[in-house]
Amino acid sequence: MNRILILLAILLVPGTTRAQTPPPQKQKPQMSERQAPPSPVVSPEVHTDHRVTFRLRGPNAKDVSVQIEGASKPLAMQKDEEGVWSATTEPLVLDYYGYAFLVDGVAMFDPSNSATKPNFLYRASELHVPATSGNSGDSASPAWEIADVPHGEVHHHFYRSKVVGDERGYFVYTPPSYDPRGKQTYPVLYLLHGYSDDASAWTAVGRANVILDNLIARGRAKPMLIVMPLGYGAPEILAPGSGVFRDPDITQRNFDRFREALLTEVIPRVEAEYLVMKDRDSRAIAGLSMGGAESLLTGLNTLNEFAWIGAFSSGGITADFDKEFPGLDVNANEHLRLVWIACGTDDHLIEINRTLRAWLASKGIHHVDIETPGAHTWMVWRRNLTEFAALLFR
């Protein structure tokens, strides 16, 4: 088991538990010799008690700290006589964390860590605090840890969107039992990323495929497909100055065209390419942050399409819910099997989520209120997916 863990650490979790600096090069010197730092630093280093030490060589920097996903403020780092800055955390809960160094005000990736998080706007390296008890796949191991269970497959599709006018992609998880040449059909969860993420976020960062592999192996979730499209109906929402929901026209176009692309392009493609059930009761839609808003706007306004709706830490919609969800009333309960509204209590979006839940209650819409510890983080969303997926298609 130790050997497997070491190999796993090397292959699957580069940068969390071992030195990253290239050894002197014989065979491939071009870039690497010149990249070789004065002497190697190891960062991040995960200790056996789950404390983590971050290090950065920066002899001339004046101020260095590390911002860890979910922490309320950056952790100050101290410089030693060799010009290496370091800081050690308290013990961390087992999970994956994004983090960035702030070097004299500039946010940057950890240069000692090859694991970076895909994101259009923000820089974050990835820290893995793994279970020390091994990867046996037992129920005590976090659902996002790769275990020795049957694995599904992640498919990357590419197409030209006529609705948005660009080349884009979407990812599809198929469960271990999926056989494209067989007869069995499966229900589908459409799972949406947040603002600044790309279409790979739910697998690369959220580890949705690993979570589903484990839930299915433990009998906790029904085998299902997960479709993860690109969540931008108006990609210009990513451009500096025009985006982040400050421009109501771009925001509206982003939501409207996303929904149109999903309903008229992605779903028809998926239903032609895969063996899936095509009825409303076999379709779920869920997402985080911007994707939570998209799940609500698409799901609650297209009741004939989705019977299961999940919204994790939703943001980007206005509080004018009568306008956002025109015509939604108590009759919707006949169509909806689950409306699951989750938010962390330390999330800056907790209040609008509480307001939304109160509005749904005022309309008589059955829904599940979930408040969890945590802020606007992937640690919350991995747990949201783990809980939500287990409820689906029952």
Residue 97 and residue 130: Cα distance in Å, rounded? 11
| Residue that has been written with the tokens 């292959």 in this structure | 11
For the CB of residue 345, give the shortest distance to a copy of itself in the complex, in Å: 14
Residue 353 and residue 70: Cα distance in Å, rounded? 19
Among 46, 375, 379, 389, binds a copy of itself (CB under 8 A): 375
Instruction: Using the minimum distance from each CB to a copy of itself, give the nearer residue, 135 or 298.
Output: 135
Instruction: Using the minimum distance from each CB to a copy of itself, give the nearer residue, 299 or 315.
Output: 315
Q: Which stretch binds a copy of itself (CB under 8 A): 44-52, 217-225, 234-242, 332-340?
A: 234-242
CA-wise closest residue to 56 among 128, 117, 112: 112
Is residue 248 at the binding interface for a copy of itself, with CB under 8 A as the rule? Answer: no
Q: How far is CA 143 from CA 42, 277, 311, in A?
A: 28, 26, 20
For the CB of residue 196, give the shortest distance to a copy of itself in the complex, in Å: 7
Is residue 3 at the binding interface for a copy of itself, with CB under 8 A as the rule? Answer: yes
Is residue 102 at the binding interface for a copy of itself, with CB under 8 A as the rule? Answer: yes
Q: Which stretch binds a copy of itself (CB under 8 A): 88-96, 155-163, 279-287, 329-337?
A: 155-163
Say if residues 285 and 259 touch (Cβ distance below 8 Å): no
Residue 2 and residue 383: Cα distance in Å, rounded? 28
Is residue 183 at the binding interface for a copy of itself, with CB under 8 A as the rule? Answer: no
CA-wise closest residue to 298 among 257, 243, 331, 338: 257
Residue 96 and residue 208: Cα distance in Å, rounded? 13
Say if residues 316 and 251 touch (Cβ distance below 8 Å): yes
Is residue 137 at the binding interface for a copy of itself, with CB under 8 A as the rule? Answer: no
CA-wise closest residue to 93 among 384, 346, 380, 345: 380
Is residue 19 at the binding interface for a copy of itself, with CB under 8 A as the rule? Answer: yes
Among 114, 133, 318, 331, binds a copy of itself (CB under 8 A): 114
Among 282, 316, 387, 388, binds a copy of itself (CB under 8 A): 316
Is residue 326 at the binding interface for a copy of itself, with CB under 8 A as the rule? Answer: no
For the CB of residue 284, give the shortest distance to a copy of itself in the complex, in Å: 23
Instruction: Using the minimum distance from each CB to a copy of itself, give the nearer residue, 67 or 302.
Output: 67
Q: Which stretch binds a copy of itself (CB under 8 A): 88-96, 150-158, 278-286, 356-364?
A: 150-158
Among 349, 360, 370, 389, binds a copy of itself (CB under 8 A): 349
Is residue 120 at the binding interface for a copy of itself, with CB under 8 A as the rule? Answer: yes
For the CB of residue 21, give the shortest distance to a copy of itself in the complex, in Å: 7
Is residue 32 at the binding interface for a copy of itself, with CB under 8 A as the rule? Answer: yes
Residue 364 and residue 120: Cα distance in Å, rounded? 39
CA-wise closest residue to 2 among 10, 300, 43: 10
SS3 content of the chain, % helix, strand, coil (to 5): 30, 25, 50
